[in-house]
Amino acid sequence: MDARLQQYDDRMKKTVDFLETDYASVRAGRANPHVLDRIRVNYYGTPTPIQQVGNVTVPEARVIQIAPWEKSLIKEIEKAIQTSDVGINPSNDGNVIRLVFPELTQERRKDLVKDVKKKAEDAKVAIRNIRRDGNEAFKKLAKTEVSEDEIKQLEEQLQKITDRYIKDIDALMETKSKEIMTV
């Protein structure tokens, strides 16, 4: 790949990777430990990911269990989950914390699918903005050392890269939407 195109390809890939990570935190009826990825626990004054202060498991389809390595952290972990956007109240038995995910209603599923589509659309806009930046940069090259034909070629290749990533985003959105709508 042309070195002038590589930077735009990398930026587009990062956009798709970010969308994938974002989708991992969307709750789809089953307990998914990735919903805890953004939550930080106050661990001796340092914000620390839950996965680093305890063992996170999924013993049943709709339950996440967190076994802290130090019992003194139970209250801190509970507080971090309650103040997060997970929307589930943790319960503990003194040793472990359980998050029980309720069954999603059809209406809630539809809302989640709308959210997934909006995130996909935002990612597509980001991809198109990267393409625009690339095309503008290529036009500036035309004033110096590159021929019109070369510019056209670069723009066409950039459009192919853009199309590929847009297709990837559509595929991710379809997969996540199906996952959410599956009861």
Q: What pLDDT shows up at residue 180? A: 83
CA distance 41 to 54: 11
Shared domain check, 154 and 91: no
CA distance 137 to 92: 56
Q: What pLDDT shows up at residue 146? A: 76
Q: What pLDDT shows up at residue 150? A: 86
Among the residues of 54-105, which ranges form H helices? 74-82
Q: Which of 68, 100, 132 is the last residue of a domain?
A: 100
Residue pair 155/135 in contact by the 8 Å Cβ criterion: yes
Sheet holding 91-92, edge to edge: 54-60, 63-68, 97-100, 91-92
Token match 């359980």: residue?
98
Shared domain check, 109 and 19: yes
- What residues does 64 pair with on adjacent strands? 99
Q: What pLDDT shows up at residue 134? A: 92
Tokens of 103: 């069954």
Q: Which of 100, 124, 152 is the last residue of a domain?
A: 100
Q: What is the sign of the dihedral through the CA atoms of 147, 150, 154 and 160?
A: positive
**Domain boundaries, position 77:** 33-100
Single pTM value for the model: 0.71
Q: What is the CATH number of the domain that holds 78?
A: 3.30.1360.40
Shared domain check, 49 and 10: no
Listed in order, strand segments (DSSP E) in the chain are 40-43, 46-49, 54-60, 63-68, 91-92, 97-100
pLDDT in tens, the chain (183 residues): 678 889 999 999 999 999 998 887 776 667 778 878 888 888 888 888 888 888 988 888 888 899 998 888 888 888 888 888 777 788 888 889 898 887 878 888 888 899 999 999 999 999 999 999 999 988 888 777 778 888 889 899 999 999 999 999 999 999 999 888 876
